[in-house]
Amino acid sequence: VSETNQLARVEAYSDGVFAIAATLLVLEIKVPSLGVHAPAAELLNAVRALWPSYLAFVIGFTTILIMWVSHHTAIRMLNKASKRFLYANGVLLLVITFIPFPTALLARYIDTELASVVVAFYSMVAVLLNVAFILWNAAMQRPVYLVKPEISRERLEKFKRQSWGSLLLSIVTTAVSWWFPMVGLGLIIAAFVFWIIAVPVGDTAER
Amino acid sequence: VSETNQLARVEAYSDGVFAIAATLLVLEIKVPSLGVHAPAAELLNAVRALWPSYLAFVIGFTTILIMWVSHHTAIRMLNKASKRFLYANGVLLLVITFIPFPTALLARYIDTELASVVVAFYSMVAVLLNVAFILWNAAMQRPVYLVKPEISRERLEKFKRQSWGSLLLSIVTTAVSWWFPMVGLGLIIAAFVFWIIAVPVGDTAER
Amino acid sequence: VSETNQLARVEAYSDGVFAIAATLLVLEIKVPSLGVHAPAAELLNAVRALWPSYLAFVIGFTTILIMWVSHHTAIRMLNKASKRFLYANGVLLLVITFIPFPTALLARYIDTELASVVVAFYSMVAVLLNVAFILWNAAMQRPVYLVKPEISRERLEKFKRQSWGSLLLSIVTTAVSWWFPMVGLGLIIAAFVFWIIAVPVGDTAER
Amino acid sequence: VSETNQLARVEAYSDGVFAIAATLLVLEIKVPSLGVHAPAAELLNAVRALWPSYLAFVIGFTTILIMWVSHHTAIRMLNKASKRFLYANGVLLLVITFIPFPTALLARYIDTELASVVVAFYSMVAVLLNVAFILWNAAMQRPVYLVKPEISRERLEKFKRQSWGSLLLSIVTTAVSWWFPMVGLGLIIAAFVFWIIAVPVGDTAER
């Protein structure tokens, strides 16, 4: 019971950070400032012209949601925590917390000639996120083995391969974005589809 | 126990998002900027003149509160989660997280000639919210049936009918708001009353 | 178990709102903007000149903390929730969520001639908070009696008397603040001391 | 069970505050404002020039993470709460909540001649944090002894010595920072390493 409680608090703190990071993204969508006698069409256009903000919002939210699902899936494989695991979790949360910044950059510059810089920067943060996720996964197995005995080796190996695949994809995306930012954006969305389809979710893997 | 825990974490993450989205609304109420030697009456007037912000704050908060109660009621009918349900829940939370933006638009323009645009935009987000809620409800029953066996078919059907009724009302509200924004605002408030009265709450339905 | 879970989720959502409202207060403390070659003494003075922000921060935080402790104490007397209780809880949280705004007003004008307006406004919000708390308490006993059978009538009566006493005090404070804002401020702090000393805390009442 | 629940809610509220304070730090990293036709190199430089913000973000986040781990470790030694403990916990959270402000100061002035003021201010807040932590620890043992009987006296004594050591270090850091801000910064980071290495984590102390 005591061990479970400890993991429960790690989950509670992590859930808080995931939820807040995801929700703060909306603060980047700024209300357009018009004169009160402006015609309705002008406000409509201004609200439509915010599409880069909406797009960035959805991308940032989806990134955090997918990491939350993966965090949730992985932590349910454990039956205890270690000190190293707690700090590795902290590093993962540090990167999650940072995501509103590249998202805000994306919102601001995606429809300009500077798109390549901001898509590449976003992908670079995705690289960091993947690295943090891999370290976090490693901390589950070393120096203490925290994983429940009933979790099969193959499942852990598959999870690991997927994480490395995702890291590789984010590195490629960073490089590509410099020359073809829209291709980079497409790869970011492709990575979402990959995670959503490929990664099993908690106890519901078989469904 | 394990299944319950999984739902518990979905609830914890969702609660976090609901609570933060509701609380961020207050950031849109801006402190009026006066000279330090301004007469007291001027500050009083400035604080009173913020009524559109207060109104928008209450509307945004009530929207999120009602969705929280409905989320709470519905999730208590389940005894497990599926992958599709987790992502449908993510989409629902995405729309919840977005609510501070239409709320801020409302606060800024409700007392101007642009009221029709912002009430219609708010209602359009309510349409999205209802669609997300209906998809989320559908994910509870397909492809896996996640609902507890003791929940009656009639109860599920009633819940579904109410959701579709609410969707219809929000579509009507969006259309009406273009010509009569104040009628649209009245319909938004009528929808709150409908949800509060009609929708049963968790295990306390009979009371 | 099921009933307890329902209350648990009400607590989780409420805790989220309390925690966020308290934490958002810090956003009102603005970093002073100086030239990079300004002497150290100037930045020191600027940081010291923010004392109204620090004071408002502590007042807002303490208000929310005391309400959290009272919420915590009261909710532990229950063994189930009702629909009316859930919405009364929503109204209480609405007022809690609003607190960063009067706090920001306090921070901005407490050291000016407009102090009377902002202290009175803060007290008026405290009046609303007390009213919401009394309604919330009433919803615990009507129309369904949600309180655990082992909780004595005297305890409930005492809690009620204290809430009405606190309401009265906040009304007096609002009136007094118009003429003597510093006395009003003193009464706000006196109310904190009253709550901290007089109100028992959860199961630890006797200590 | 009831006692445990009370501690569980203290943990939930505290986790919320820790998580939000940590996540709000990112709001201080401001998107650089460039013309849409600016060359890519200019945006890259602007993003690189934000290193003081990134550094401050990591320092603030690590401070909060370490306090969360220590809070987590300490609260798991308890089997009940007292009124004094609840309020001591409130004071600790007040200081945690304040951290985004000295962090924002750090981000703004660390690379200027005013570094000494902001590093000293950050260290001074660390002094307050250590004092609040020591008071919070004291409230665990007086007037009621809340600690589980199986926790050894030596463990409590060691925890106490470490807290006093950390307080002393933060006082020294504050003083040193006035003359040598970069040495002060080094000492802040040294304190992190000290806490991470020296302080045992929950039930995982021996690992």
- pLDDT, tens only, B166-186: 999 999 999 999 999 999 999
Residue C199 dihedral angles phi and psi, to the nearest 5°: -85, 125
Out of D83, D101, D109, the one facing C204 most closely (by C-beta) is D83
Please tell me the predicted confidence (pLDDT) of residue C89: 96
Q: How far does C68 lie from chain D, in Å, by closest CA?
A: 9
D29 has a pLDDT exceeding 70: yes
Query: Residue A159 pLDDT more than 50?
Result: yes
User: C23 vs D20: CB contact, 8 Å cut-off?
Assistant: yes
Say whether D19 and A2 touch across the interface (CB within 8 A).
Answer: no
Give the closest of A81, A90, A97 to D23, CB-based: A97
Say yes or no: A20 contacts chain B, CB-CB below 8 A.
yes
The pLDDT of residue D180 is above 60: yes
pLDDT at D141 > cutoff 60: yes
Question: In this predicted structure, what is the pLDDT of residue D57?
Answer: 97
Q: Is the separation of the CB atoms in C188 and C61 below 8 Å?
A: no
D65 to chain A: which residues are within 8 Å by CB? Answer: 87, 90, 93-94
Query: How confident is the model at residue A91, as a pLDDT?
Result: 96
The span from the CA of C39 to the CA of D117, in Å, is 10
Q: Given an 8 Å threshold on Cβ–Cβ distance, is B202 in contact with C6?
A: yes
pLDDT at D54 over 60: yes
Is B16's Cβ below 8 Å from some Cβ in C?
yes
Tokens for B99, please give them: 């609510």
Stretch among C42-46, C78-82, D132-136 having the lowest mean pLDDT:
C78-82
Check residue D3 and give its pLDDT. 55
A40, B114: Cβ pair inside 8 Å? yes
Three-state DSSP at D78 gives strand
Question: Average pLDDT of B5-26?
Answer: 89
A113-122, A146-155, B198-207, C162-171: which has the minimum mean pLDDT? B198-207
Place of tokens 């008026």: C124
Residue D153's pLDDT is 87
Task: Name the residue with higher pLDDT: C199 or A97.
Answer: A97
Q: What is the pLDDT of residue B205?
A: 36
Q: Does pLDDT of A203 surpass 90? A: no
pLDDT number for residue B1:
39
Does the beta carbon of A66 lie under 8 angstroms from any beta carbon of chain D? no
At C184, the pLDDT band (50, 70, 90 cuts) reads very high
Mean of all residue pLDDT scores within chain C: 90
DSSP C150: T
- Cβ–Cβ of D72/A9 closer than 8 Å? yes
Interface test with D, best of A30, A94, A178 (most D CBs within 10 A): A94
Spell out which residues of chain C touch residue B19, defining contact as CB-CB under 8 Å.
13, 16-17, 19-20
Query: What percentage of chain D carries pLDDT values higher than 90?
Result: 66
- Specify the pLDDT at position B198: 77
Instruction: Please say whether the beta carbons of B36 and C112 come within 8 A.
Output: yes
Residue D52 tokens read as: 């003081």
Looking at the DSSP bridge assignments, the partners of residue C152 are none
In this predicted model, what pLDDT tens digit does every residue of C89-122 receive, in sequence order?
Answer: 999 999 999 999 999 999 999 999 999 999 999 9
Per-residue pLDDT for D1 more than 50?
no
Q: Which of A43, A58, A76 sits opposite B109 (nearest CB)?
A: A43
Instruction: Give the closest-approach CA distance of D106 to chain A in angstroms.
Output: 17
| Rounded alpha-carbon distances, angstroms, from residue D89 to A117, C103, D4 | 45, 22, 16
What DSSP string describes C25-78?
Answer: GGGGSPPP---TTS-HHHHHHHHHTTHHHHHHHHHHHHHHHHHHHHHHHHHTTB
Please name the residue of chain C whose CA is at the shortest distance from the CA of residue D143: C207
Q: Is the pLDDT of residue A25 over 70?
A: yes
Average pLDDT over residues D173-201: 90
What stretches of chain C show up as alpha helix (H) in DSSP? 2-24, 40-48, 51-75, 83-98, 100-109, 115-139, 153-179, 181-198
Q: What is the average per-residue pLDDT within D72-81? A: 88
| pLDDT (tens digit per residue) in B41-54 | 999 999 999 999 99
The angle at the Cα of A168, spanning A164 to A173, to the nearest 5 degrees, equals 145
Show the tokens assigned to D205.
């102390």
Give the model's pLDDT for residue D206: 39
Q: How confident is the model at residue B7 (pLDDT cuts 50, 70, 90)?
A: confident
Which positions in chain C touch D16 (Cβ < 8 Å)?
15-16, 18-20, 23
Report the mean per-residue pLDDT for chain A. Answer: 90
**Between chains, do C24 and B23 touch, taking CB under 8 Å as contact?**
yes
pLDDT score, position D202: 55
State the Cα–Cα distance between residues C104 and C12, nearest whole angstrom: 26
The two structure tokens encoding residue C191: 């109310």
Query: If you average pLDDT over residues B193-202, what whole number do you get?
Result: 77
Average pLDDT score, chain D:
90
Q: CA D8, D11, D12: angle at the middle one, nearest 5?
A: 85
Among A138-147, C19-28, C156-165, D8-17, top mean pLDDT goes to: C19-28
Q: What is the mean pLDDT of residues D110-123?
A: 95
Residue A12: per-residue pLDDT: 86
Is pLDDT at D192 greater than 90 in this prediction?
yes
User: For the segment B112-139, what is each residue's pLDDT rounded down to a tens digit?
Assistant: 999 999 999 999 999 999 999 999 999 9
Q: What are the two backbone dihedrals, phi and then psi, of residue A152, each rounded to the nearest 5 degrees?
A: -75, 150
Using an 8 Å Cβ cutoff, are A44 and A103 in contact? Answer: no
Are residues B40 and C113, on separate chains, in Cβ contact within 8 Å?
Answer: yes
Query: pLDDT tens digit string along B42-93?
Result: 999 999 999 999 999 999 999 999 999 899 888 888 988 888 999 999 999 9
pLDDT attached to residue A88: 94
Residue B200 is predicted with a pLDDT of 67
State the Cα–Cα distance between residues B17 and A64, nearest whole angstrom: 12
Of B137, B139, B143, B136, nearest in space to B156 by CA: B137
Confidence bin at C200 (pLDDT 50/70/90): low
Residue in this structure with the two tokens 């009302």, named with its chain if needed: B169
Q: Chain A partners of D15 at a C-beta cutoff of 8 Å?
A: 9, 12-13, 16
The whole-number pLDDT of residue A3 equals 55
- List pLDDT tens digits, range A53-73: 999 999 999 999 999 989 988
Specify the pLDDT at position C54.
97
The reply to whether C4 touches chain B by the CB within 8 Å rule is no
Q: Is residue A164 pLDDT above 90, yes or no?
A: yes
Interface probe for A, chosen from B78, B94, B141, B145 (most Cβ of A below 10 Å), is B94
Q: Among residues A20, A29, A186, A24, which one has the least CA distance to residue A107?
A: A29
Beta-carbon separation of A207 and B17 below 8 A: no
User: Which of C18, C24, C31 has its CB closest to that of D105?
Assistant: C31
pLDDT digits (tens, 9 = 90+) for A70-89: 998 888 889 888 889 999 99
Q: Are B56 and B103 in contact (CB under 8 A)?
A: yes
Q: Mapping DSSP to helix (H, G, I), strand (E, B) and coil, where does residue A34 land?
A: coil
Collect all residues of chain B within an 8 Å Cβ-Cβ radius of residue C145: none
Percent of chain B with pLDDT over 70: 94
pLDDT-based confidence at residue B207 (cuts at 50, 70, 90): very low
Test A69 with B87 for CB contact under 8 angstroms: yes
